[in-house]
């Protein structure tokens, strides 16, 4: 692999992520930026190690590119709106298409038909995934747009002597006012709970029985209620699937409703609260803009930032729902090639046609690939692939920025203001969530929906990856939990059990010695 000596930097690191939905969008990354802003991004290195996907970018090229993107949006806000529109135009059709894969029996297809179904899906999915790259580049490293708008907010506060924390006010101004999947899921679940509450005989059952027992009772005796529950499951079980599952179960939702019954919650009140919160947010945004005297230009830029946040969540929905609904497709592909569904997800796009139509795939290469594989994408083309020891040796040879382990204070971006003090727990994957205790501070490279059970115990969230549009930021605003994101190298500098203070009023995390 011929790589010029560069200063490489990790663009993102995603646990539980095989190549089947990320390697092709990465190829588009290296030439797609030219189409968006006229700047070439020549090199991108992808490493898949023990099912974690790591992207390496040239540090200087990355800074150059996010600066060009930012300046283009400031100069031409219609172009900024267009970037968001492109994401929307790709994601909604993708979500609609993968919905048609639900309950498909792929075993009835010939190998050619199976490949055609795979190829059709990839043709719709790849541009939907790749459409979010400009926003990611813009916000992941230097948070140029959000940083600019936060500074503008602070200046307006100082100008009119407005009371309030700039970080908190900025978070409100860019918070999406459209329902995202967490709000839609909550509304659906509370609506189901409201129907259950009307069946007086069921209330004590939900309070006293196990989820498994409740499932049998509903399934056998309440067909209308069972239909509503299974519809909710079908519509939202994928929200925690991430890339490889598992998805939520019917029993998961029964347990959630049972817990709310035991807490004495009123489902009508819960539904009203969600609706009221949205109305309050819209009213607050209007009031803040008027009081701060936000001009038309910056009002438009704030809306672009808000739309980026909404569309980032929509794009993630597109990824996770696609991963869930193509599980049967990859299971059938794996079955025909003598591979597990996990191994089948390590077949690259350019290999699939040959594998299915010729029936030829070297299983030992695919199985070795699940341990470690490195791809070098250059100018929109796959330049080379390394596996096993060669891959490890190559990654170790890269000139990657290393952190300063001696520092005790790290600055990042405020997602939700507040302060917390406690023991840090590094929770990046669901298999280690058990170590979280009430009041701990959850640290992750980046949070995902499958970490929500651990996040509920946390007094604060801190992440190395992300800006105002990342998952941790969105959850923190919804739950009103202090959160600082974009803390460079925090997962390498802090370790489990360190006593830290999270000052999310000022975007600072301090290690208490």
CA nearest neighbour of 181 among 144, 130, 232: 232
CA nearest neighbour of 417 among 177, 171, 174: 171
Instruction: Answer yes or no: do 257 and 325 share one domain.
Output: no
Q: Pick from 369, 397, 425: which residue ends a domain?
A: 397
Residue 421 token pair:
């003090």
Whether the CB-CB separation of 150 and 170 falls below 8 Å is answered with yes
CA nearest neighbour of 203 among 267, 273, 249, 252: 267
Digit-by-digit pLDDT tens for the chain (513 residues) are 555 567 888 888 888 888 888 888 777 776 666 666 666 666 889 999 887 889 888 888 888 888 988 999 999 999 999 989 999 999 999 999 999 999 899 999 999 999 999 999 999 999 999 888 888 888 777 788 988 998 999 999 988 888 777 888 888 899 899 988 888 999 999 999 999 999 888 999 999 999 999 999 999 999 999 999 999 999 999 998 988 889 999 999 999 999 999 999 999 999 999 989 889 999 999 999 999 999 999 999 999 999 998 998 899 999 999 999 999 999 999 999 999 999 999 999 999 999 999 887 888 999 999 999 999 887 667 788 999 889 999 998 888 877 788 889 999 888 888 999 999 999 988 889 999 999 999 999 888 888 888 999 999 999 988 777 688 888 898 888 999 998 988 998 999 999 999 999 889 999 997
Residue 34 in domain: yes
Instruction: Answer yes or no: do 135 and 28 share one domain.
Output: yes
Quick one: residue 483, left, alpha or beta (phi over 0 = left, psi -120 to 50 = alpha)?
A: beta
Residue 267 token pair:
């489902």
3-state secondary structure of 181: helix
Instruction: Answer yes or no: do 100 and 62 share one domain.
Output: yes
| Helices vs. strands in the chain: H and E counts, helices first | 22, 13
Instruction: Answer yes or no: do 264 and 233 share one domain.
Output: yes
Positive or negative torsion for Cα 431, 435, 437, 442: negative
Total structural domains within the chain: 3
Beta-strand pair 441-444/508-511: unpaired
Whether the CB-CB separation of 319 and 163 falls below 8 Å is answered with no
Distance CA 465, CA 54 (A): 12
Residue 288 in domain: no
Residue 330 in domain: yes
Distance CA 12, CA 444 (A): 12
Instruction: Answer yes or no: do 393 and 507 share one domain.
Output: no
Going by the DSSP 8-state scheme, the letter that residue 400 receives in this structure is B
**Residue 38 confidence (pLDDT):** 66
Domain of 103? Answer: 8-139+316-397
Instruction: Answer yes or no: do 415 and 504 share one domain.
Output: yes
CA nearest neighbour of 306 among 502, 473, 499: 473
Instruction: Answer yes or no: do 382 and 327 share one domain.
Output: yes
Instruction: Answer yes or no: do 124 and 22 share one domain.
Output: yes
**Residue 168 confidence (pLDDT):** 81
Residue 66 in domain: yes
Distance CA 12, CA 461 (A): 18
Q: How far is CA 221 from CA 196, 208, 450, in A?
A: 13, 18, 32
Backbone angles phi, psi at 48, to 5 degrees: -115, 110
> Which residues share a beta bridge with 376?
45, 384
Residue 232 in domain: yes
CA angle 152, 306, 25 (to 5 degrees): 120
**Residue 4 confidence (pLDDT):** 56
Sequence-distant (6+) residues with CB within 8 A of 165 are: 417, 505
Sequence-distant (6+) residues with CB within 8 A of 398 are: 3, 8, 45, 56
Instruction: Answer yes or no: do 324 and 217 share one domain.
Output: no
Residue 186 in domain: yes
**Residue 107 confidence (pLDDT):** 96
CB atoms within 10 A of CB 172: 17
Instruction: Answer yes or no: do 390 and 422 share one domain.
Output: no
Backbone angles phi, psi at 404, to 5 degrees: -90, 105
End-to-end Cα, the chain, rounded Å: 44
Whether the CB-CB separation of 385 and 392 falls below 8 Å is answered with no
Residue 287 in domain: no
Distance CA 93, CA 107 (A): 25
Q: Pick from 397, 427, 453: which residue ends a domain?
A: 397
Instruction: Answer yes or no: do 428 and 486 share one domain.
Output: yes
Give 393's Cβ-side CA count (13 Å radius): 7
> Which residues share a beta bridge with 410?
509
Q: Pick from 335, 363, 397: which residue ends a domain?
A: 397
Q: Give the sheet arrangement for strand 52-58, strand by strand.
A: 8-15, 52-58, 43-49, 372-378, 381-387
Residue 282 in domain: no
Q: pTM here?
A: 0.89
CA nearest neighbour of 484 among 167, 242, 173, 54: 167
CATH of residue 434's domain is 3.50.30.10
Instruction: Answer yes or no: do 247 and 370 share one domain.
Output: no
Whether the CB-CB separation of 176 and 310 falls below 8 Å is answered with yes
């Amino acid at each position: 692999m011929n790589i010029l000596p560069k200063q490489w930097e990790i663009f993102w690191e995603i646990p539980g992520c095989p190549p089947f939905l990320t390697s092709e969008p990465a190829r588009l990354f290296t030439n797609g930026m030219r189409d968006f802003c006229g700047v070439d991004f020549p090199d991108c290195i992808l490493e898949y190690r023990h099912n974690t996907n790591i992207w390496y970018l040239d540090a200087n090229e990355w800074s150059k590119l996010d600066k060009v993107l930012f300046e283009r949006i400031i100069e031409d806000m219609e172009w900024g709106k267009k970037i968001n529109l492109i994401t929307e135009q790709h994601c909604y059709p993708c979500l609609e298409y993968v919905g048609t894969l639900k309950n498909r029996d792929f075993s009835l297809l010939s190998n050619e038909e199976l490949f055609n179904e795979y190829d059709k899906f990839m043709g719709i999915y790849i541009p939907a995934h790749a459409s979010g790259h400009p926003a990611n580049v813009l916000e992941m490293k230097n948070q140029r747009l959000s940083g600019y708008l936060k500074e503008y907010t602070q200046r307006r506060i100082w100008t009119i002597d407005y009371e309030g924390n700039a970080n908190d006010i900025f978070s409100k101004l860019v918070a999406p006012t459209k329902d995202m999947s967490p709000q839609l899921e909550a509304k659906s679940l509370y609506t189901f709970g409201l129907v259950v509450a009307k069946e007086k005989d069921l209330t004590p059952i939900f309070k006293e029985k196990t989820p498994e027992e409740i499932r049998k009772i509903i399934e056998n005796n309440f067909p209308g209620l069972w239909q509503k529950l299974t519809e909710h499951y079908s519509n939202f079980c994928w929200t925690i699937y991430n890339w490889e599952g598992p998805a939520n179960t019917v029993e998961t939702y029964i347990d959630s409703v049972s817990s709310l019954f035991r807490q004495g919650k009123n489902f009508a009140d819960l539904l009203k609260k969600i609706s009221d919160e949205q109305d309050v947010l819209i009213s607050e945004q209007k009031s803040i803009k008027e009081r701060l005297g936000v001009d038309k230009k910056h009002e438009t830029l704030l809306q672009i930032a808000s739309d980026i946040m909404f569309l980032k969540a929509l794009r993630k929905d597109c990824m996770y729902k696609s991963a869930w609904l193509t599980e049967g497709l990859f299971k059938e592909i794996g079955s025909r090639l003598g591979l597990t569904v996990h191994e089948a997800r390590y077949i690259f796009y350019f290999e699939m046609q040959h594998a299915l139509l010729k029936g030829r795939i070297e299983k030992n290469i695919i199985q070795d690939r699940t341990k470690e594989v490195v791809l070098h994408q250059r100018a929109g083309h796959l330049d080379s692939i390394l596996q096993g020891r060669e891959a490890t040796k190559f990654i170790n040879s890269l000139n990657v920025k290393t952190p300063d382990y001696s520092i005790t204070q790290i600055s990042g971006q405020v997602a939700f203001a507040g302060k917390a003090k406690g023991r840090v727990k590094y929770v990046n994957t669901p298999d280690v969530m058990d170590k979280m205790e009430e009041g701990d501070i959850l640290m992750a490279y980046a949070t995902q929906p499958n970490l929500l059970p651990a996040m509920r115990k946390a007094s604060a969230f801190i992440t190395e990856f992300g800006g105002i549009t990342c998952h941790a930021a969105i959850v923190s605003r919804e739950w009103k939990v202090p959160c600082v994101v974009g803390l460079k190298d925090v997962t390498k500098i802090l370790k489990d059990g360190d006593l830290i203070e999270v000052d999310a009023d000022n975007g600072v995390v301090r290690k208490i010695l």
